[in-house]
Amino acid sequence: MSVTFVDLLDYAGTFAFAISGIRMASEKKFDLFGAYIVGMATACGGGSMRDIFLGVSPFWMTKWIYLAITGLALVFYVFCHKFISKISSTIFLFDTIGLSLFAVVGFQKTIDAGFDYWVANVMGMCTGALGGVIRDILINEVPLIFRRDIYALACVFGGCVFAFALMMGLPNYLCQTACAISVIMIRMLAVHYHWQLPTLKDE
Amino acid sequence: MSVTFVDLLDYAGTFAFAISGIRMASEKKFDLFGAYIVGMATACGGGSMRDIFLGVSPFWMTKWIYLAITGLALVFYVFCHKFISKISSTIFLFDTIGLSLFAVVGFQKTIDAGFDYWVANVMGMCTGALGGVIRDILINEVPLIFRRDIYALACVFGGCVFAFALMMGLPNYLCQTACAISVIMIRMLAVHYHWQLPTLKDE
Amino acid sequence: MSVTFVDLLDYAGTFAFAISGIRMASEKKFDLFGAYIVGMATACGGGSMRDIFLGVSPFWMTKWIYLAITGLALVFYVFCHKFISKISSTIFLFDTIGLSLFAVVGFQKTIDAGFDYWVANVMGMCTGALGGVIRDILINEVPLIFRRDIYALACVFGGCVFAFALMMGLPNYLCQTACAISVIMIRMLAVHYHWQLPTLKDE
C-alpha cells in the first residue's frame, strides 16, 4: 500500500475529525468504547452517508486505516487531553484541511459516478459536514453546524469553484486544488472575522 | 421537462413539508443554512430512506427541483413568516396532500421494485412519515408522530386500501386515487375529531 | 417455510429487543404506534444498518415474521407489563441470546459478501448494538451503550473468536457456535461482575 501526499492529508483530517468526536463524547462522560464509536462516526459518518447515497460500499469498509487512525486518536486523547487545548490551533488546521479534502473527495467521487455538478456539490457538503451532525445526534445535542459558523457553506462554495473550474476546461488536479483552497480560505476567513449566517428569529 | 398534475401535487407537498421543517428549525434559532437543511431533510428524508431501503438512488439526486422548492420555501418563510399562521389551513391542506401523495409514490415504487404488498405498505408509511422523524431528530426533540395524531397510521390505512384495490383487479390509476383519498380522509377526520391512539402508560 | 432451531433463537432475540424498545417508548409516553416503531427499530435497526452498509435489501423486507414478532411483543407488553419485571431474567436471557445470534449472523453475512474478517467483526457489532443506539436516538436519550455495560464489546470479542476459529480451519458451524458462546459468556460475566469500561473524564 503506497501512501501519497493526498493520503497523508486525508489521514490528518480523519484524525482531527475523530478527535473532535472523542472530545465531545468525553464531555458527556462516555466510556472508552463509546468515545471510539463517536470518533469513528464523526470521522467517517459524512463519507459513509455519501457512499450510501451513491450506492457504493462505505469507503472505510475497504481500508482498515480509518479504524486504526480513530484508535490512534483515542489513545492520543487519553494520554494528552490536557495538552490538547495548547495545540488547538494545530487541530483546527488539521480539521480545516480535512474539511477541504473531504469536500474534494465527495465532489470527485460523485462526478465519477456519473451525477451532475449540483449533486456533486451536495455530496461534497455531506462528506464534510454530516459527520459532525451524526456526532451531535449521538451525544444528544442540537447539531452545532446548524447554528454556528460558516462550515458546511464553505464546502458548498468550494463545490461551486470545482464546478466552475471544470466548466473552464481546467485539468482535474487543478480543479481539485482550487476547490480545496477555496474551502480552506472561506473557513479561515469565517472563523477569523466571526462570520455568521443570520438566524431566522431574533426576538 | 413536462410537468403533470401529479407533479404539481408532489411539489405542493414538498413545499409544505419543507415549511414544517423550516418553522421548527427557526424556533430552535437555527441559522438560514441550518433551516434549509432541516427543511430539505423533512421534505426528502422519508423518500430517501425508502430509496435506500429499496437500493436505488435517492429521488432528489435525479431532479434538482426538490432543492429549488426547499429554497423557495425558505425564502417564503423569511419574508412571510408572520403571515404563515393566517394561511395555516392552506399549509395543512398542502401537507395532507403531500402525505397522501408520498404514501402513493412509496407504495407504487416498492411494488415496481418487485416487493410484496406488505413491504409496499411499510415503504409508503416510511415515505410519508420518516421525514418528520428525521426533522425531530435534527432539532433534538422527541419525534412528534410517536406521541400525537393519526399520521403515519393514515398512510398504513391508505396502503391497505391500495393493496385491496390491486387485489380486486382495479386499474392502477384507480388504486392510486383510492389510496390517496383514504389517506386524506383519515388524516382530516383524525384532526377534526382529535383522534388519538392510546399511550402505553397513563398514570 | 420450515423453521430451524436457529430461527427460533433469532425470533426470541427479536422479541427481547422489541420489548426493550417498547418499554423505553412507554416510559416516554409514546402512543401504541410510536411504541411499535421504536420496538421495530430496536429489533431490526442494527441488521438494517448492516444490510445497507453491505448493499443488500434489509433482511426484514424479505420475511414478514419480524413485523409480526414486534406486534406480538407490543400485545404482550400491553397486557403483561406489570408482569414484566418478574420475568426480567428471562427477558435478559432472550436479549443475550439475541445479541449473540445477531453478532454471528452479522459476521457470517459480511464474510459471505466477500469482505475481510475485520469488516465482519465491525458488522457483527453493528448488528448487535446499533438497534439500541437507534432506539435511544428515537426516544431522544444519550445512547446507553456508550456509557454503561460491556455490550457492543462482547460482540467484538465474539467476532475475534469467530475469526480465530476460521483461521484455525474449524468447520463453519463450530466457528458460529464458538462466537455465540463467547458473546453470551462475556455479556453474562460483565453483568454479574459489573464490569465497566473507564470513562474519559472522572473529575
pLDDT per residue as tens digits for the range C27-67: 888 999 999 999 999 999 999 999 999 999 999 999 999 99
How far apart are the CA of A140 and the nearest CA of chain B, in angstroms?
7
How many CB atoms are located within 10 Å of the residue A89 CB?
Answer: 8
Q: What is the pLDDT of residue B203?
A: 43
What is the tens place of the pLDDT at every residue in A131-140?
999 999 999 9
pLDDT score recorded for residue C71: 97
Q: Could you tell me the pLDDT band of residue A203, with boundaries at 50, 70 and 90?
A: very low
C18 contacts in B (CB within 8 Å)?
none
Mutate to test the interface with A, among C200, C201, C202, C203 (most CBs of A within 10 A): C200
User: How close, in Å, is residue B136 to chain A by CA atoms?
Assistant: 10
Cα–Cα distance between A131 and A101 in angstroms, integer?
A: 14
**Distance between CA A84 and CA B115 in Å, rounded?**
52
Asked if A200 contacts B77 with a C-beta cutoff of 8 angstroms, the reply is: yes
If phi > 0 it is left, if psi is from -120 to 50 it is alpha, else beta; for residue A97 that is alpha
Q: How confident is the model at residue A201, as a pLDDT?
A: 67
What pLDDT shows up at residue C113?
A: 93
Give the pLDDT of residue C1. 57
State residue A49's pLDDT score: 96
- Using a CB cutoff of 8 Å and minimum separation of 24, what contacts does B4-9 make? B6/B101, B9/B97, B9/B98, B9/B101
Q: What is the mean pLDDT of residues C140-167?
A: 90
Q: Say what the pLDDT of residue B200 is.
A: 76
Q: Which residue has the higher pLDDT, A29 or C163?
A: C163
Instruction: For chain B, list residues with pLDDT below 50.
Output: 202-203
Judged by DSSP in three states, C31 sits in strand
pLDDT grade for A165, boundaries at 50, 70 and 90: very high
Instruction: Choose the closest CB to B142 out of C56, C78, C140.
Output: C140
In chain A, whose CA is at the least distance from the CA of C153?
Answer: A33
Pairwise CB contact (< 8 Å): A29 & C199: yes
**Minimal Cβ distance to B33: which of A118, A140, A152:** A152
ipTM: 0.91
Confidence of residue A202 (pLDDT cuts 50, 70, 90): very low
Nearest C-alpha of chain C: how many angstroms from B188? 18
Averaged confidence pLDDT in chain C = 91
Burial A49-68 (b: 16+ CB within 10 A, else e): bbbbbbeebbbbbeeebbbe
pTM of the model: 0.93
Q: What is the pLDDT of residue A141?
A: 92
Chain C residue whose CA is closest to B113:
C57
Q: Which of C74, C91, C71, C86 is nearest to C16 (CA)?
A: C91
From CA A157, how far away is CA A140, in angstroms rounded? 29
How far B184 CA sits from the closest chain A CA (Å)? Answer: 31
Mutate: best of A26, A32, A59, A61, partner C, most C CBs <10 A: A61
Confidence of residue A17 (pLDDT cuts 50, 70, 90): very high
Contacts of A142 in chain B (CB under 8 A): 28, 139-140
**Rounded CA separation C83/C126 (Å):** 31
Hey, are the CB atoms on C31 and B118 less than 8 Å from each other? Answer: no
How confident is the model at residue C203, as a pLDDT?
A: 43
User: Which residues of chain C have a CB within 8 Å of the CB of B198?
Assistant: 31-32
| CA distances to A138, A149, A163, C162 from A39, in Å | 10, 21, 31, 26
Average pLDDT over residues C75-103: 87
Mean pLDDT of C115-143: 94
User: What subunits touch chain C, counting only 3 or more CB pairs under 8 A?
Assistant: A, B
pLDDT of B1: 57
Which region among A43-47, A57-61, A167-171, B5-9 has the lowest average model confidence (pLDDT)? B5-9
Angstrom distance (rounded) from CA C94 to CA C15: 8
